Amino acid sequence: MCIRDRLKTKFVAGKFIDITDDLLIHAIIVADDKSGNFYKTLVIQDSTGGIELKINRTGLYANFPVGMKIGLRCKGLTIGDYNGLIQIGQGTYQNGNFTNLSGIEDALVDRYVFKGPRNQVITPKKRTIPALIAQDLSTLIQLDDLEFIRSDTGKTFADIIGKNPSNLLLTDCAGNEIILRTSDFADFAGNTVPPT
């Protein structure tokens, strides 16, 4: 089974859908929580696309590092989105007036996520900013020849004093821009943005 054709077809924008089909996805972890830029989240990818996998556990990288192939049993899980970014977890919870996707509970992870071989290689797709498409979300890509806009140089990657994530702008030689978002929990959040 593949992420794009079998799993993402269950997705309905703005809704949380419980998966009742026997779907098994094989994918490789392309991002984990080691740097702190992701929280209780793994990003997994196969040849057709990627998705965020929410798990109610910190330190996921210790057992599920980047480069590990996993099997994901999807029956009993829930698919939804956060600001249009498709995610899979288990059930929902209320936060004020907002319904959010819950992660797979730590005690249940072994029922849904199956470890495979480590050190698998995914070659990033080379892209340009104008060539980015929705299918590139939650996948490993490579953007060459970018620099931070001048007004962002000298800032830190995130606001560690005020404890806020930050959006910085990267630009290419043609003036196309893309946002780089960094969590204030990232281990590099206090690093200074390099000069252009």
Query: Across residues 92-105, what is the average pLDDT?
Result: 93
The band of 1, judged by pLDDT with boundaries at 50, 70 and 90, is low
The band of 142, judged by pLDDT with boundaries at 50, 70 and 90, is very high
% helix, strand, coil for the chain, step of 5 = 15, 40, 45
pLDDT recorded at residue 13: 87
**With contact defined as beta carbons under 8 Å apart, do 67 and 119 qualify?**
yes
User: How many whole angstroms separate alpha carbon 73 and alpha carbon 70?
Assistant: 10
Query: Across residues 155-180, what is the average pLDDT?
Result: 96
pLDDT recorded at residue 196: 75
The band of 112, judged by pLDDT with boundaries at 50, 70 and 90, is very high
* Percent with pLDDT over 90 in the chain: 85
Q: Which candidate, 80, 25, 66, places its Cα nearest to that of 49?
A: 25
User: How many whole angstroms separate alpha carbon 33 and alpha carbon 26?
Assistant: 20
pLDDT mean across residues, the chain: 94
Residue 105, pLDDT above cutoff 80:
yes
Enter the tokens of residue 96: 């004020």
Query: Across residues 28-44, what is the average pLDDT?
Result: 96
Residue 83, pLDDT above cutoff 60:
yes
Query: Across residues 67-96, what is the average pLDDT?
Result: 94
**Which residues lie below 8 Å from residue 60, measured CB to CB, with a gap of 6+?**
32, 33, 40, 41, 42
Q: What angle do CA 138, 34, 117 make, to 5 degrees?
A: 70
**H or E stretch covering 109:** helix 109-112
